[in-house]
Amino acid sequence: MRSESEPGGQQRSFIEEARRRQIIASAVEVISEVGYANASLARIAEHAGISKGVISYHFQGKDDLMTQLVIQLYVSAAEVVAPEVIAAVGARNRVLAYIESNLAFIDANRRYVAALTEVVRNLRDADGQLHFASSDESEILEPLVALLREGQLEGEFGEFDPVFMGKSIRDAIDGAGARVVRETDFDLRGYTAHTARLFDLATRKAEE
């Protein structure tokens, strides 16, 4: 019945918010275990120890639940990353803070990231199109690209296409997110240092 923007303008009660979080948490665990395709509402409800109907009550449907899951995690990630980036001084340090805080977030939320990835890659609208399409990535990409452009204007960075570079950074981060799931013994700390160096070199000025 209820949905994201709560059209009536009414706030969600505390108890309702708790239920929603509980259901999303259960969905995260189920998805990270059996994958998106096998994560049925029945399984999610069973895992949460509630009845199937509860999910239907708190979310408009399966797609809504999945969408909320993604949004919740994106917001959480932004809450971790943004302050780190802002706190850093200079474009180079900001970009490095962006990379490092993103990977730190992944490290601290492995299951969530696994579930998020599954949903983003699989959730589709009725017409078959991916629900989280490239247009959504822009929102994530843009601030990073802006950061890179800034560094170039300020003369801290060398010559490169800031959009391409932004995509490379995102692919490195998302790739690490996938590895964390696939490779149980993946050394994310070491990989973070490696990745920071990679893009540190890539953004330097040519000569000097």
Partner DNA sequence: GATGAATGAGAGTTCATTCAT
Partner DNA sequence: CATGAATGAACTCTCATTCAT
Question: 13 contacts which partner out of its own copies, DNA, none, CB within 5 to 8 A by kind?
Answer: DNA
Candidates 10-18, 81-89, 113-121, 133-141; binding stretch for DNA (CB under 7 A): 10-18
Q: Is 42 in the site for DNA (CB under 7 A)?
A: yes
Q: Is 62 in the site for DNA (CB under 7 A)?
A: yes
Candidates 6-14, 30-38, 92-100, 145-153; binding stretch for its own copies (CB under 8 A): 30-38
For residue 41, give the amino acid letter.
Answer: L
Three-class SS state of 22: helix
Contacts of 70 (CB under 8 A, 6+ apart): 116, 119, 120, 123, 132
Contact (Cβ atoms closer than 8 angstroms) between residue 171 and residue 71: no
Candidates 44-52, 116-124, 148-156, 173-181; binding stretch for DNA (CB under 7 A): 44-52
Alpha-carbon gap, residue 147 to 128, rounded angstroms = 34
Alpha-carbon gap, residue 111 to 28, rounded angstroms = 7
Q: Is 35 in the site for DNA (CB under 7 A)?
A: no
Residue among 49 and 89 whose Cβ is closer to its own copies: 49
Alpha-carbon gap, residue 8 to 87, rounded angstroms = 38
Which listed residue (43, 47, 111, 149) binds DNA by CB under 7 A? 43
From its phi and psi, is residue 205 left (phi > 0), alpha (psi between -120 and 50) or beta?
Answer: beta
Which listed residue (124, 153, 154, 189) binds its own copies by CB under 8 A? 124
How much is the CA Rg of the chain, to the nearest whole Å?
A: 19
Q: Is 110 in the site for DNA (CB under 7 A)?
A: no
Residue among 129 and 184 whose Cβ is closer to DNA: 129
Three-class SS state of 184: coil
Contact residues toward its own copies (CB under 8 A) are 33-38, 121-122, 124, 128, 130, 133-134, 137, 160-161, 164-165, 167-168, 170-172, 174-176, 178-179, 182-183, 190-191, 194-195, 197-198, 201-202, 204
